[in-house]
Amino acid sequence: MKACHETVDRYKEQADQVGPHEEEELFEEPDGKVEDSYTLRKMAGNLVRNLAVNFCEGLWEISRSIIEQLMQKPNWFHCEVAVLYIGLIAEFCKDQFNPNMLAIIGSISAVMTKFDQPQLVSTCLWTLSQFSE
């Protein structure tokens, strides 16, 4: 468990240093093209989906404090990561959010209006749609 917390702490520290498009550089081909099927964003999304499918019970409570911290960051791409994570969990584990559903929807709405970023607005709307089903 200690190793898990150390890993989470390390990723939290690194999150402040990563820009919105730096993940593409990790998978660039020598000719400068990014392989569409292997972006860091897609790989992370698949990981969260797998976690939600296999470990639905308690996943939100385990990750809640990190996600709330990301939503308070001044950079829109940190907020987008948090909102996307919520949407991916909600896709499979909607019941995890029942006690705090209105607060979460309010937080996502606040993030959506906080920044003038079309990609963030799109992600927020997709995440909110996960709660409407």
> Residues 68-126: pLDDT tens digits?
999 999 999 899 999 999 999 988 888 888 888 899 999 999 998 998 899 999 999 99
Cα torsion 104, 92, 122, 36: sign:
positive
Domain range for residue 50? 23-130
Query: Does residue 9 fall inside a structural domain?
Result: no
Q: What are phi and psi of 16, to 5 degrees?
A: -70, -15
Q: What are phi and psi of 65, to 5 degrees?
A: -65, -40
What percent of the chain is modeled with pLDDT above 70? 71
Query: Does residue 2 fall inside a structural domain?
Result: no
Rounded Cα gap, residues 3 and 44, in angstroms: 20
Domain count, the chain: 1
Query: Does residue 94 fall inside a structural domain?
Result: yes
Model confidence pLDDT, tens digit, residues 31-51: 555 555 567 778 888 888 888
pLDDT at 22: 46
Query: Does residue 13 fall inside a structural domain?
Result: no
Rounded Cα gap, residues 54 and 66, in angstroms: 20
